[in-house]
Structure 1
Amino acid sequence: MTWRIGLLVLLFSVATLGVGLWIDYQRFLETPVGVPSSEPYLEIPRGTSLRALSDRMAREGILDQPYYFIALAYLEGAQRRIKAGEYALRPSVTPRELLDAMTAGKGVQFAITLIEGRTFRQALAVIDAHEQFGGDALSLLSDAELMAKLGRPGEHPEGRFFPDTYHFPRKAKGLDVLERALERMDQVLAEEWSDREPGLPFDTPYEALILASIIEKETAVQQERPAIGGVFVRRLERGMKLQTDPTVIYGMGERYDGNIRRADLREPTPYNTYVIQGLPPTPIALPGRAAIHAALHPAEGEALYFVARGDGSHVFSSTLAEHQQAVRRYILNKGG
């Protein structure tokens, strides 16, 4: 009889301990994690094991029971699904919510957008103005210094960076954004070049990039880009000067005050397409994929001229007489 009583006492003790552990485990799940005052972020390097992560969080005061976190991960089937990254530690986050963020890869991410049609220097100003990159001061570096840092010494930076929205971790540098944009442009340009129309009047992807940058600056109306591309391609094929104002403006640099004068159109800069034959030496802005596609897939037709209507769209003409009439109507306001 005594052994039965002893067994009952043992079973009761085990059950009581189990209930206590379960209650303590539930308390752990509902209690927000600790947030170190010095660094409210948790960085998980690639290859970190669940055990090493749990022990580290315990040492840093984020968890009070690392074994409970390990148990939670196994119960959730997440022991091998935790992703490297940097995660924000907010006072309200529970261990389960933190684990969910880790398995979903929802780490701290900031975003920056490089806009189509902006120049390289304007893109640098956007990066320098971002709260994460204010101390990088990329704008203070010369073009040559920046391209050397990116492993592309001797290349002109204009047009080389793909305009898009980029997400990056908290400790990223402005140079990291440029590197990603540079690689992205290489990829997009290679893809578009491989699928180009035959018989185009230029021989290299870089020349296509130059033309794409001009198309980008000439119109923001996506449907018009192939037509604009068609005009410029036909002009190149016929040996006509491109005569496009955005290249003149780019060549003027900081002297441009919003107006192009007759003297500016006659000034022999490398970018004045009213003076030079063919394409300018470099792109004049950051072209997007649609502009690159338009340069490599120009619309068919006979148009050799276009003029802005004033609403963002353009009128296309096949002859100089038609073009002059459109100029009188839309630019000089003399009517039809």
Structure 2
Amino acid sequence: MASAWTIDRMPDCTDTTVLITGANSGLGFEATTAFAANGATVIMACRSTDRGRQAAAEIRDSVGDTGGTLNVRQCDLASLDSIESFAAGVEQAYDAIDILCNNAGVMAIPRQETDDGFEKQLGVNHLGHFALTGHVLELLFASDGESRIVTHSSGAHESGEIDFDDLHHQQSYGKWAAYSQSKLANLLFAYELQRRLAAADITETISVACHPGYAATNLQYRGPKQEESMLRMGMMRAANAVMGQSAQRGALPLLYSAVAPDVQGGDYYGPDGLMSMRGAPEKQSSSEASYDEADAKRLWKTSEGLTGVTYDFQ
């Protein structure tokens, strides 16, 4: 049963190549540690290579000699040029990718724009990962066995709405509304990707999604820091202490989605505890809006237009 699954049940990941965004902190750091501890080759996509190298050194010290390798590479999901350059470097260095973890994200920040003029939460959380996945798709197809694309969403998607008339919240901006929209976009993308893979009779690459519940990480503090709000900073600290589970526990749904043998394309995993905020990973259902195929197709076409990235399923 998925609900009994713990990090101790991670399989041997020798000869497995994992690409994970946001690998140097929070859930990405914990997932990278777990993969490395089980012998994987991990491509750590980090906005800051300095922080990435520091994280890699900490992970090596903690897991010891497992046969796993860590490769820190610069990738800023707020820049389409950076994503394209990163993907080109990975393609030159690797023959295949077995697991792609679309993990990095920003949450509830004051309105900002990416290098390409996208509202930053949508730009980083969804559009950046849409572009990255498209760029490395051939490497995922080249995997010897089943390859997986795991997209990290959030329970906040349940209040999300895709505002196609004001997708970048230029007319009206609410930090939580923008975040929820981006997390709903993650699920619309993950499910639509699986539908397109299936329509092309591609069975050896699957797309799945997950959410961490309430995991106490630095993600919650970025918005208050940027707003210079000591009140919100204190509120987040209190909420993390009372309601949050550890980042290590929060990474379990991501890890389960990436390696568990019973995972199928289009699945969605999250914690099995009260209100899905903490606990062991289990298969769940996301919001009704996340399964809206018309919205998913429209978002896909919009994402292609904004990023200039199209997917080749042949």
The normalised TM-score by structure 1 is 0.21
The normalised TM-score by structure 2 is 0.22
Bigger relative contact order, structure 1 or 2 (CA pairs below 8 A, ≥6 apart):
2
